[in-house]
Structure 1
Amino acid sequence: MPSTNSSLFLCLFLAATSLNLIIAADPDMLQDLCVADLNSAVRVNGFPCKPATNVTASDFFFAGLAHPGATNTTMGSVVTAANVERIPGLNTLGVSLSRVDYAPGGLNPPHVHPRATEIVFVLTGEIEVGFVTTANRVVGRRIGQGEVFVFPRGLVHWQRNVGSTPAAAIAAFNSQLPGTLGVAAALFASEPPVADEVLERAFQIGAGEVRRIRRRLAPH
């Protein structure tokens, strides 16, 4: 017979494991498929299903990652998402992809995915990757073609092309819609804006510097 303490430990372990599985990714699906009705005004934790009789193969297909995106942006990078908004058949499946293209020196700036862990696979070139833990420790390295790196869910992370030629990577997520919160834009280009006093004190800068950063990050 197991001891009371052993039984209690087992119960607590199973409960913690189950909770971890619940919060680790999107909720499990309850049917074969639930193709998102992107035109519906109804919003739940995901998208409502369109009638099964209206489902076609195109609901599960997307060709947008086949070719490089234009990297003539401010940061010299572009992200092409293959999430539920592009592939309605991903609804309730808990996975998605993105393609990231980088010009030489291009940066995918510090950002957070609040709903997903990310694993990135380098298609071409060499990129520098890194994330910051809650202990303010930077974990990063350079990775090249065919290599992968993982960014834990909810941590600030980035990628930068350190080569002299264009680079590209595929990122996979354990969410149909991982969400992206750019750190700089969230703080300096939000609407309504974060109070100047908050930014001045947090970053130990003056009001003029706050205004200059806001102008640079303002949507064009």
Structure 2
Amino acid sequence: MIRAVVFDVGETLVRDDRYWTAWADWLNVPPHTASALVGAVVAQGRDNADALRLIRPGIDLATEYAARDAAGRGEDLDETDLYDDVRPALTELRDLGLRVVIAGNQTARAGELLRALDLPADLVVTSGEWGVAKPAPEFFRKVVEAAQAAPAETLYVGDHPANDVTPAAAAGLRTAHLRRGPWGHLWADSPQVTEVADWRISTLTALPPLLTA
């Protein structure tokens, strides 16, 4: 029985469109160039930040984040960045009595912005705040603590096989792969998903019926 549902953030709850467009503007390249390079590194199984390293070899991302903040062009999230199914799905899960947690690989600033959206969740936390990121086992140990449920009673929902499905399953959690965003679509039919994920979904609103069946 599932008692807690934990969600990834990027391309699970939040569209990454504006994130990559902002980086393209900052690095002075067309948005389609950044998008194409993100797609290329995704297909190669590389970290999506490698797209920025291809645009500007040797880039120091921490320095660039700080420079963007100083220029008033730092991270931003608002209601328009959320996928349409986020609030309905999270609300229904909470109405079912499940604990809802949001925990993904984001900066501490992104955590602040997510909490400001007042999402229907019991806890919102990021890797930047925890000091450990997916797919590290320690991240998923913290997920279990945040869920306040046993691993087998905790469901982790995400789009990325290597960052979400595989390490969550290795930690003893149940998993749901979301076919959304470049990672979700590209790897949806890979053995990493088909042989590991407990559920495969295309919308978050599919979760409540699955968990109450």
TM range (shorter): under 0.3
Instruction: Give the greater-gyration-radius structure (CA).
Output: 1
Per the normalisation by structure 1, the TM-score is 0.27
Which structure is higher in RCO with an 8 Å CA cutoff and minimum separation 6?
A: 2
More helix by share: 2
